[in-house]
A and B are shown apart, each in its own frame.
Chain A
Amino acid sequence: MTAPAHQLPAQAATVAAPQQPRRRRRRDESRRGIVWRTIVAVVVTIVVVFPLYWMLVVAFSPRGEIFEPGLRLWPSTFTLENFEKILDRYPVLGWFGNSLVIGVFVMVLTTALNLLAGYAFARLRFRGRTAIFLLALSTMMIPVQAIMVAQFRLVVDLGVYGTYWGVILPGAAAAFGIFLARQFFLSIPDELVEAARLDGAGHLRIFLQIVLPLSRPLIAVLLLLTFLGSWNDFAWPLIALKENELFTLPVGLLYLKGQTTPDYNAIMAMALISVLPMVLLFLFFQRYFVQGFARSGIR
């Protein structure tokens, strides 16, 4: 009696003893886990964001200050002189306007054409559909830089070298949106389309009045991504534009660096002007941006 009675609590203790500390240990571990994860996440985020912070610092610092000896992580005096200087000396507002006009044209043209093509691939049956679809797919594998010399000569021959159209037309020849559109349209219920057909609506009407109104998230994603792509494009505008009044912001940025004594404070002010619209757009439409990228991945 005594033995088991003696044993029982002991047993209970040996069973319970590891259990309780283990539970506590797990809670401690998970709390410590969160602390460690937070530290890592914050450090990585600071490193990732730092270059953008540095752009701000240089853009608002007095000329040359960042290259003076000594470690300084913020401006001694906050100045707007770099912005005044570039606005005064270079056609920055014109460059901004060029980027905007080209971006809007590419965005509207590409999105409209991709939506139309996506509808055809998702909803219409015709001979050669699969072959053309594969052909369009293959264009995404063509590196633009591989054919840039030939594209350049073509643009010259067409007489659009050095104009907006010389940048817009090759820029709009993109298939990326077709696949997103096709996937999206495949998910629209057949009944809706069939009902409209029975009522005698043609495909253009179905497309415009039924499919498009259901596709607002898709359209938003396509507009955002094509605008971003055009706004940040560099290689092609560099090739297709010649007069500096027609430059886009990235080409203008390079032009500033090419001056005999590059003024890095002015260059950062200019970089900030070119980056800010996209950052604001991103912050406002973050969900769409991220979805658009994510969805293009799960294709």
Chain B
Amino acid sequence: MVGWAFLAPNLVLMIGFLFVPIVLAVQLSFQETRGFGDPQWVGLANYRTMVEDPDFWRSLANTILFTAVTVPIELAAGLGLAVLMNSALPARGLLRTLLVLPMVVSGVASAMIAVILFYESNGLVNKVLETLGLDRVGWQSEGAPAMVSVILVAIWLRLGFNMVIYLAGLQSIEPELYEAARIDGASRWQQLRSITVPLLGPSTFFLLIMNVIASFQVFDVIFVMTGGGPSGATSVLVTYAYRNGFQIREQGYGAALGIVILLITLVFTFVQWRTSRTRDLAG
């Protein structure tokens, strides 16, 4: 009884604002809600629309592309910076602090700064490119550069977090291991490959899940920087669901997109969980 009493306040909020909405979302995804009338039951119509909706497939492909590019870069760069910041350096504390700083900046503020930096007609990035004798890039008018710009901002925002987690992981590795490896004549690169990377496995696993989920759900950066444009080039599932649920006001379709996002997240998490378990058993 006491246990439940301690849990009750938290459970009430979670049930009320997470589990009830899931049930409501499933229900809503079977309804047509356009306009002001009562919602109508339409069965699987929203899901059928989705299968035939090129914008949905494009948003899904963009989401996968965005995730597939950002996550490996965040992991590799986070590890590289952590190793660098764990070695002997002058003013190491100051450098670490500065590198972690973007972590506390909101997605909206970073996106606003990026809007100005990547401003197409006379932003700083294009001015620098011009000074270097290169061509200006159509950050707002061309699809591929627009995607590159949102990817850069996402990496900027999350690099510090990856570095911090890896730094914590590095500090748990016994220095004797490196000493032994050095005596055996292992090069720095060999040490990194055979000691650091394997022993950071748990950190990598945690970061992989966190980064994939964060990339999969990226919203504020894209919403503010490109709004999903130009012509859908940076539209991802979450911005597309928002567009349908709140801008076009087809809430039933928006809810159906949400259910798909939920299902993909759950499948990914489940697969990760299974593979990590077998890895634990094997190790």
Q: Mark B1-35, 1 if CB is under 8 A from A, else 0.
A: 11110110111011011111110110010000000
Q: How far is the CB of A127 from chain B (nearest CB, A)?
A: 9
Alpha-carbon distance between A23 and B283 when the two chains are bound, in angstroms: 40
Interchain Cβ contacts within 8 Å, total number:
273
Question: A124 vs B100: C-alpha distance in the bound complex, in angstroms?
Answer: 38
Q: B251 on the interface (CB 8 Å rule)?
A: yes
Q: How far is the CA of A34 from the CA of B92 in the complex (A)?
A: 12
Does B108 lie within 8 Å of A145, measured CB to CB?
Answer: no
- Known contacts A45-B99, A297-B207; is-contact A142 B262 (Cβ 8 Å): yes
- Whether A254 contacts B224 in the complex (CB less than 8 A), given A37-B87, A45-B95, A146-B262, comes out as yes
Contact with A along B151-191 (1 / 0, CB 8 A): 00000100111001101110010000000000000000000
Q: Are A48 and B261 interface neighbours, CB within 8 A? A: no
Main secondary structure on B side of the interface with A: helix
What is the interface residue range for chain B against chain A?
Answer: 35 or more
Contact B84 A234 (CB under 8 A): no
Task: Report whether B262 and A139 are in contact in the complex, using a CB–CB cutoff of 8 Å.
Answer: no
0 or 1 for each of B93-115: is its CB under 8 Å from A? (1 = yes): 00101111111111111101111
Knowing A38-B89, A145-B238, A293-B164, the reply to whether A153 touches B262 (Cβ < 8 A) is no
A window 85-124: CB within 8 A of B: 113-114, 116-117, 119-121, 124
Interchain CB contact (< 8 A) of A279 among B1, B104, B206: B104
Q: Determine, out of B49-57, B68-76, B118-126, B137-145, the stretch whose residues face the partner at the interface.
A: B118-126
The digit string for A145-157, where 1 denotes a CB below 8 A from any CB of B, is 1111111111000
Q: Tell me whether chain A's interface is mostly helix, strand or loop, or mixed.
A: helix
Is B43 in contact with chain A by the CB < 8 A criterion?
Answer: no
- Contact (A253, B99) CB under 8 Å given A146-B259, A154-B17: no
Min CB distance B205 to A, Å, is: 10
- Measured CB to CB, the residues of A under 8 A from B are 34, 37-38, 40-42, 44-45, 48-49, 51-52, 54-55, 58, 66-71, 113-114, 116-117, 119-121, 124-126, 129, 132, 136, 139, 141-154, 169-170, 172-173, 175, 178, 202-203, 207, 228, 231-232, 234-235, 239, 249-250, 253-254, 257, 264, 267-268, 271, 274-275, 278-279, 281-283, 286, 289-290, 293-295, 297-299
Residues of B that sit less than 8 Å from A by CB: 1-4, 6-7, 9-11, 13-14, 16-22, 24-25, 28, 81, 84-85, 87-90, 95, 97-110, 112-117, 119, 121-124, 127-128, 131, 156, 159-161, 164-165, 167-169, 172, 202-203, 206-207, 213, 216-217, 219-220, 223-224, 238, 241-242, 245-246, 251, 254-255, 258-259, 261-262, 265-266, 269
A-B pairs with beta carbons under 8 Å apart, 11 shown: A48-B160, A52-B105, A54-B116, A120-B3, A141-B265, A145-B238, A149-B251, A150-B21, A154-B21, A169-B13, A282-B101
